[in-house]
Amino acid sequence: MDDVGDVLAANARYYQAFEAADLDAMSAAWERSDRVTCTHPGWGSLRGWGEVASSFAALFQGAGVQFVLTRPTAVVVGDAAWVSVDENLLGEQAGVTVATLNLFVRGDAGWRQVGHHGSVVHVPADL
């Protein structure tokens, strides 16, 4: 069993859903429960699938986002896992890197996302 590979595949589903602005796919990628949490860059932490789903519905109304993901590492502890990854944005936000921590829990239907926390990596203004 390749747990790390399965977790990285679950992580990829999050970004594929985001790039496609596909709320159904995002909903399938997440555990739709009260215990999920999501913190977009600069936002307060959202708690529970209702708040998290609403945030994606709103974000998907805006300009599309494309990511180049770098330095993904997955760690599995039993039925829980985390992925640390850098999101390098393309398009209107090209040059921005978002340091990210994604959480996953394994249930009957496989790995589902339960957490996302992204924050912009600051670069000195003169670079």
Q: Which residues in this chain contact its own copies in the complex, by CB under 8 A?
A: 35, 37, 39, 41-45, 47, 71, 73, 75, 77-82, 84, 86, 97, 99-101, 103, 105, 114-115, 117-122
CA distance 106 to 41: 26
> Which residue, 54 or 84, is less far from its own copies as judged by CB?
84
Rounded least distance, CB 94 to its own copies, Å? 18
Q: How far is the CB of 24 from its own copies (least distance, A)?
A: 25
* Choice between 45 and 54, CB closer to its own copies: 45
Find the helix or strand (DSSP H, E) in which 54 lies. helix 49-59
Question: How far apart, in whole angstroms, are the C-alpha atoms of residue 94 and residue 32?
Answer: 31
Q: In what order do the strands lie in the sheet with 80-89?
A: 46-47, 37-39, 110-120, 97-107, 80-89, 67-77
Nearest distance from C-beta of residue 57 to its own copies, angstroms: 20
Q: How far is the CB of 68 from its own copies (least distance, A)?
A: 15
Nearer to its own copies, 58 or 75 (CB): 75
- Name the CA radius of gyration of the chain, rounded: 14
> Alpha carbon 19 to chain centroid distance?
11
Residue closer to its own copies (CB basis): 24 or 77: 77
